[in-house]
Structure 1
Amino acid sequence: MRTLLAAAVAAATAWGGLALWFQLPAAGALRVPPVAAWTLLGLACLGTLCLGRSARARHLWLAAFGAALLALLGWWHTIKPSHERVWADDVARLLEARVEGDRVVLRNVRNFDWRSETDYTPRWETREYDLSQLRSADLILSYWMGPAIAHTLVSFDFGAGGRVVLSLEIRKERHESFSAIGGFFRRFESVIIAADERDIVRTRSNARGEDVYLYRLAASPQALRQLFLGYMARAEALRRAPAFYNTLTSNCTTIVFDLARQIVPGLPLDYRLLLSGYFAEYAYDQGGLAPGFDYATLHALGHINARALQADAHPALPFSQAIRRGVPGIAPAEAGL
C-alpha cells in the first residue's frame, strides 16, 4: 500500500510541477518559487513514505500534500482556451467554411509566400470548391524530430478547382515555440488551417528543411467527401468554441484517425497513432494507400524534397505537379507529364 501511495505522490508531483511550469508566466523568476515549493512538498511527502517515518508523520504529510493537490486541481480547471491572444501571423485567422450542397466557400485560406521560416509575405484568401469535383486526396507527413514524430496533413484535389491542404495545428502566440511536453499541459490552443500547397507543404520541405513524404490515399469519392466535411465540421466547432491542443489525444494525426473512423467504423487502435511518424505505415496496413506497391516503395518514391527544391529552381514548373512526379498511384498527367 505504501509503495502505491509513493508512486501516486511521485506522479502527482511530476504532473503538478510541469503544469505550473508551463502555465505560470515565464518572465523573470515568477514561476520558479511555486514550482520549487510544490516539488519540495512532494519530495517531503515521499520521504515520509519511503524512509519509515511514524504513521502520524505520514498522515500529516499526506494530508498536506492532498490539500495542496486539491488546490492545484482547482486552479487547473480555471484554465480555459481562448481566441483572444496575440497570435503568430501564420495562425492569426480562423478558417470559416460555408457548405451549401456541393458548394463550399472557405474564408481565410492561407497562401503565404515563404522565403524562409521567418521571412514571408502574409496572404489570406477566400476560395470556393465544388464537392462533386473532389477526385482524390493525398496523405502528407512532414518529419521534424526524428523518424517517430511527423506532422500529418491531407491535401484534397478538386480537379480544375484546385487543391487545398487541411491541417490541425497548434495556435502559437507570437512569442511561443512548439513544445511536445507543453502540449500535454494546456499550453496551446488548436486551429484548423486550410492552405495552398505552395504555402503549407513548401514551407516544410524548402524553408524549414523537413523531410516530407506524400502518399496517394485509396478512398472512394464519397469517403473523401466525408473526410473533407469532417474537417469543416471540426473547423467550425473550433471557431465557435476554442479548444486546447493535446500532444496525445488531440493532434494532427488523431484528427485524421477520428474522421477516418467515422467512415470506416472499427479501425483498430495502434501505437502508430501516437508515434505519428509511422502513421503512413498504419494507413498502408489498413489498405488506405495506393494499392499494388509494397510500403518501402511507397515511402521511397513519396519523398518529395528533391522535387520541391527543383520546383523553386524552375518557377515555370507548378509546385503541385512537381512534387507528385513518380509518386505511386498518381497518373502522369496529374504530375504534368
Structure 2
Amino acid sequence: MFVFRLTGRIILVLISILVFVWGGFALWYQLPLGALATIGCLVIWTAIAFSVLWLEIKGRSLRALIVLIPVTVALFYWWNTITPSLTRIWSDDVAQTVTGTLNGNQVTLSNVRNFEWRSREDFTPRWEVRNYDLEDLASVDVFLSYWSNPAIAHTLVSFGFNDGQHVVFSAEIRKERHEEFSEIGGFFKEFELAMIAADERDIVRLRTNIRKEDVYRYRIRMAPEMRQALFLSYIDNANHLAQKANFYNTITANCTTVIFDMVRAITPDLPIDYRVVLSGYLPGYLYDLGAIDNQKPLEEVEKSASINQRAINADRDPDFSAKIRIEN
C-alpha cells in the first residue's frame, strides 16, 4: 500500500511540475500585459506552484488538488480563448499572403513576393500577380536553409516551369512588426502561420546573400501528375490560411510538417520519420525514399547541393534561378 501511495504522490508531483512549467511559459508569452505586470503574475504563479508542490511532498494530496484542479481548469480555459488573427500590424515581408485561382490549366497567383533586398532592413517591397500553366510545370526543388543548428532548417519548395519561371512556396511564421522568431514562442501561440509565394531572387537570395545562411537545393523526383497535385495543394492551403488564421507551432505546424501533410494527403503510405520534425536531416529522409539522387553517397549529394557561392556570384542577375542550378 505504501508503494502505491508513493507512486501516486510521485505521479501527482510530476503532473503538477508539468502544468506549472507549461503554464509559466504560456503566461510569459501570452499575457496581454507589460513586462512588469507579467513578471508580477509569474511571481504569483510560482508561489502557487511551490505551495502545491510542498503540500504534495508532505503527503497532503487532497489539499494540493483543491488548489491544483481549479488553477489548471482556469489556465486551460484562458488558453482556449487565445485565437489566431488575420488582422495585426504585420512585418513587411509577411504583410500579404498568397492566394490562387484555377481556370482549366491556368493558375493565377496573387501577392507573389518579389522584394528587392539590399539588407535586412533596406528593401523595396513588391507584391505581384503571376500566371502559370499547369501543363508547363516541369520540376520541383526543395531548398533547405540553415542558420545555426544543423538539426533545424527552413524548408522551401520551388516549382519550375518550361518558360523559365520559378515560384517558391514557404510556410512561415507571420511576425508582427515588433516580433522576432523564437523556437520556444512557437510552442505558445506567439505566431500565426502564413503561406508565402515568392520569386527565387527574393526568397532564396535573401537567405544566401543577405542573411548569409547556408542554403542547399535538392531536385525532387516526382511524376508530372504528382507535381501538379502538390502545386494545387499549396494553392488550397494558401487560400485556406488567407481566409482562416492558424497558429504556427514549432513541432506540429511548421515549414516542413505543412509540406509533409500535403504530400501525405497525395501519397498516404509516406512513412512518418523524426527527420520531418528535425528538418535539418531531411535530405537523409528524402535520400532513403529515393526522392532525391541516391546513386551517390549522401555526403556527396549534400555537398553538391550547396548553392551559396553560385547565388553570391549571380546576386541580382535576372537569370538568378538558372545560375544557381549550374552544375559544378
- Which category describes the TM-score, using the shorter chain as reference length? over 0.9
User: Is the contact made by 2:97 and 2:197 (CA closer than 8 Å) also made in structure 1?
Assistant: no
Cα offset, 1:290, TM superposition: 2.8
Which one of 136, 141, 158 corresponds to residue 139 of structure 2?
136
User: Is the contact made by 2:167 and 2:199 (CA closer than 8 Å) also made in structure 1?
Assistant: yes
The sequence identity of aligned pairs, in percent, is: 47
User: Is the contact made by 1:24 and 1:30 (CA closer than 8 Å) also made in structure 2?
Assistant: no
The secondary structure found in structure 1 opposite 2:81 is: coil
Match in the other structure for 2:187: 184
Q: Which residue identity is paired with 1:17? A: G
Q: Which residue identity is paired with 2:155? A: T
User: Is the contact made by 2:141 and 2:217 (CA closer than 8 Å) also made in structure 1?
Assistant: yes
Match in the other structure for 1:332: none
1:113-152 alignment to 2 at 5 Å?
113-152=116-155
Q: TM-score, normalised by structure 1?
A: 0.92
- 1:203-228 residue CA offsets vs partner (Å, 9 max, x unmatched): 01110011000000011111111111
The secondary structure found in structure 1 opposite 2:168 is: strand
Match in the other structure for 1:330: none
Q: Which residue identity is paired with 1:169? A: E
Distance change >3 Å, CA 5–CA 43, structure 1 → 2: same
1:254-269 alignment to 2 at 5 Å?
254-269=257-272
- Point out where structure 1 has 5 or more consecutive residues left out of the alignment: 328-337
Which stretch shifts more, 157-166 or 206-215?
Answer: 157-166
Which one of 6, 9, 16 corresponds to residue 2 of structure 1?
9
Which one of 246, 256, 270 corresponds to residue 253 of structure 1?
256
Which one of 89, 95, 98 corresponds to residue 95 of structure 1?
98
Match in the other structure for 1:35: 42
Which one of 301, 317, 324 corresponds to residue 298 of structure 1?
301
Counterparts of 1:77 and 1:88 in 2: how far apart (Å)? 26
The secondary structure found in structure 2 opposite 1:154 is: strand
Which one of 174, 177, 183 corresponds to residue 177 of structure 2?
174
- Point out where structure 2 has 5 or more consecutive residues left out of the alignment: 1-7
Cα offset, 1:289, TM superposition: 0.8
Match in the other structure for 2:75: 72
Q: TM-score, normalised by structure 2?
A: 0.95
Match in the other structure for 1:334: none
User: Is the contact made by 1:113 and 1:120 (CA closer than 8 Å) also made in structure 2?
Assistant: yes
Counterparts of 1:13 and 1:93 in 2: how far apart (Å)? 37
Distance change >3 Å, CA 260–CA 245, structure 1 → 2: same
Which one of 36, 45, 55 corresponds to residue 48 of structure 1?
55
Cα offset, 1:145, TM superposition: 2.4
Cα offset, 1:24, TM superposition: 1.5
Cα offset, 1:26, TM superposition: 6.0
Counterparts of 1:192 and 1:28 in 2: how far apart (Å)? 31
The answer to whether structure 1 residue 210 and structure 2 residue 213 are counterparts is: yes
Distance change >3 Å, CA 316–CA 72, structure 1 → 2: closer
- RMSD over aligned Cα, in angstroms? 1.4
Match in the other structure for 1:16: 23
Q: How many residues align?
A: 321
